[in-house]
Amino acid sequence: MPGTPHVVVLDYGSGNLRSAERALERAGAKVEVTDDSRTAIECDGLVVPGVGAFAACAAGLRAVGGERILEQRLAGGRPVLGICVGMQVLFERGVEFGEEAAGAGQWPGTVEKLQADVLPHMGWNTVRAPEESRLFAGMAPDERFYFVHSFAARRWEMEPVEPFTPPTVTWAHHGEDFVAAVENGPLWATQFHPEKSGDAGRRLLENWLATLQ
């Protein structure tokens, strides 16, 4: 349909591709699942999903030219949404079970094991979104989202640089605070799974799709 945003779910061998595809379609997008770099660069919005180990996801992303795709999209101000490990690999590095792996390096910092009595962090949890968040616009403070992870960015290390608007960082708590979502210019990401978060996830995806118009 005219006016329907064209969204690509990047297929790099990791992620709930079909569930992400279906959730985005329900939210109002025309969705294509592909590893084709040109299509991924030229679409209205790119979704980078991810499940499993940081190192494997980072390697898979590189294998399809993912870092170049990200660089070209972001240089042109074209929106990208990372989900779960697809968010984690945007950081400089990840450390899992003593193995360190380089990420895409869009943000400084390390993804590492959460300090919590119960892992994985699995199930529904609330988040603390700043008032200026566009991703969580119109949502109640007690809205809940679905998480499945044991590793996260436990600190936000990007220093503000004038005259640029600093990123909007949303936090959640499981044993300790961790980064639950980031809105940084055209690069947005969530540690939780909006495609598994019911109506709340659909509204969040609708908020992202609204930025593609």
Catalytic center residues: 84, 193, 195
The span from the CA of 156 to the CA of 114, in Å, is: 14
Q: Which two tokens stand for residue 166?
A: 């600093």
Q: What is the DSSP string of 135-200?
A: TTTT--TT-EEEEEESEEE-S--PPP-TTSPPPEEEEEEESEEEEEEEEETTEEEESSBGGGSHHH
